[in-house]
Amino acid sequence: MVSPVEVDLAIIGGGCAGLSLAVELAAAEWPPGQRPRVALIEPRTDFVRDRTWCFWPVIPHAFDAAIRARWPRWEVRAPGRQVIRGSSRLPYVQIPADAFYEVALGRLRAAPNVELLLGGAVHEIVDAGDHVALETSAGHLRAALAFDSRPPPIAPGPAPDHDPDATEVTLLQHFVGWEIACDRPCFDPTMATLMDFAVPQGDGLHFFYVLPQAADRALVEATYFTPTTLPTATYEARIRDYLGRRFGVRDFAIELRERGVIPMSSAPARPRASPRVYNIGLRGGLAKASTGYAFLAIQAHARALAGRLARAPRGAPIAPPPARSELAVAMDRVFLSHVARHPERAPGLFADLFERLPPELLIRFLSDRATPLECLRVMSTTPLAAMTREVIRSRGRWLRPATLPLADA
């Protein structure tokens, strides 16, 4: 048998979470002689623009150099309502995936202890007690610790029934986006449309997301929060219809297509699959359940994880940092329970949040950085009687811990 490649840390998957962790490990301060040998295994060899990450930059992260657009104003639309808000200090920023990959891979190629095993997939991960054995398409790999970012299986759950505490809420955020170029100016490049709910709701809770890069160019996404995905033709027909109705755009070139399915679940996160195998990225529960945002949480988690590893003896298991705060998870569970039960109320709820809260407070809330007092203020913008009923009804969900202990993972 060929002897396995031996490393200290194996990162499985070189998408957002895997590359971010590798970049943070390369940048971390290590005691002399303790810098770990890292291998990152990723099936792709070509890193194209397969998605676009947007967020409000409320914390420092390693990818400022990849930001390609900033919107100081944003809007939310609901039938008969338009709420415009903004912040010049905290604009909504965009990182196209190709720019992210370029920055990350450039840094990792210059990092002496990081090996990029591109074009290889991991088939099996076995925690052998004192090491992790990985079966990959390129052979065996032996690591002290492994960090798994393979996409989690998507298992839509049933809609909540009359026993609201009996089942998990598992919706999907699913969308198809086109980046289009038109032959005349149609968009306002200073304003992002975060949610436009003034669209047909026949297939479930549905909104449009519009990011104009220039007056004649925008990313336009048809998004749903429902238990199951739709045929591609349905999203595409909705996009054409929306472009015609809202912007009078009928002739355009599609320059890029993206699609996504992100779980929106009340289930606890699983930070570890076993003592030496950690889940990171969406697999580790880093997506905000009520919005699907994960980019900034992944950055914060990667930095905290690298810091803990740098302070621990080389190759020793560590307690993983929490994926998200208990408070943020509890708030999301109440919100998800309410939206799953009353999808028709979501447009008004979102419009109220944007209208009634100071923009930077809402940004902190949406970025999981709100204090308990700020969370109370957020709750106070919602219809109080209905929300109080929801808090009581969904207590079986939000009173649970945000993460599963290792024994249950």
Ligand X SMILES: Cc1cc2nc3c(=O)[nH]c(=O)nc-3n(C[C@H](O)[C@H](O)[C@H](O)COP(=O)(O)OP(=O)(O)OC[C@H]3O[C@@H](n4cnc5c(N)ncnc54)[C@H](O)[C@@H]3O)c2cc1C
Nearest to ligand X of 96, 160 (CB atom): 96
Query: Shortest Cβ contact with ligand X: which residue?
Result: 15
Q: Which lies closer to ligand X via its Cβ, residue 263 or residue 347? A: 263
In angstroms, what is the minimal distance from the CB of 97 to ligand X?
8
Select 36 or 281, whichever has its Cβ closest to ligand X. 281
Tell the smallest beta-carbon distance from residue 175 to ligand X (Å): 7
Smaller CB distance to ligand X: residue 252 or 295?
295
Query: What is the distance between the alpha carbons of residues 234 and 172, in angstroms, rounded to a whole number?
Result: 16
Q: Where are the alpha helices (DSSP H) in 67-159?
A: 97-109
Alpha-carbon distance 331 to 376, whole Å?
Answer: 10
Shortest distance, position 300 Cβ to ligand X, whole Å: 12
**Nearer Cβ to ligand X (35/331):** 331
Q: Which is nearer to ligand X, 44 or 131 (CB)?
A: 44
Q: Amino acid letter at 244?
A: G
Q: Distance between CA atoms of 178 and 257, rounded to whole angstroms?
A: 5
Angle, alpha carbons 285-289-290 (nearest 5°)? 165
Q: Judged by CB, which is closer to ligand X: 44, or 341?
A: 44
Q: Which is nearer to ligand X, 35 or 150 (CB)?
A: 150
**In the complex, minimum distance from the CB of residue 262 to ligand X, in angstroms, rounded to a whole number:** 5
CA–CA distance, 368 with 378 (Å, rounded to integer): 12
CB of 65 to ligand X, least distance (A): 18
Q: The tokens 């080389």 sit on which residue?
A: 314
Q: How far is CA 392 from CA 171, 265, 268, 335, 399, in A?
A: 21, 19, 19, 12, 10
Check if the beta carbon of residue 90 is closer than 8 Å to that of residue 59: no
Residues that bind ligand X (CB under 6 A): 12-18, 41-44, 51-55, 121-122, 149-151, 258, 260, 262, 281-282, 287, 292-295, 298
Question: ∠402-40-172 over CA atoms, to 5°?
Answer: 40
| In the complex, least distance from residue 95 CB atom to ligand X, rounded to whole angstroms | 8
Residue 118 pairs in a beta bridge with: 42
Residue (52 or 226) nearer to ligand X, CB:
52
CA terminus-to-terminus distance, the chain: 32
Please report how close the Cβ of residue 236 comes to ligand X at its closest, in angstroms.
15
What is the smallest separation between the CB atom of 144 and ligand X, expressed in angstroms? Answer: 18
CA distance 317 to 147: 11
Angle formed by the axes of helices 359-366 and 346-356, to 10°? 130
User: Min. distance of Cβ 129 from ligand X in angstroms?
Assistant: 23
Q: Give one word for 23, left, alpha or beta, with left for phi > 0 and alpha for psi -120 to 50.
A: alpha
Strands 277-279 and 139-148: parallel
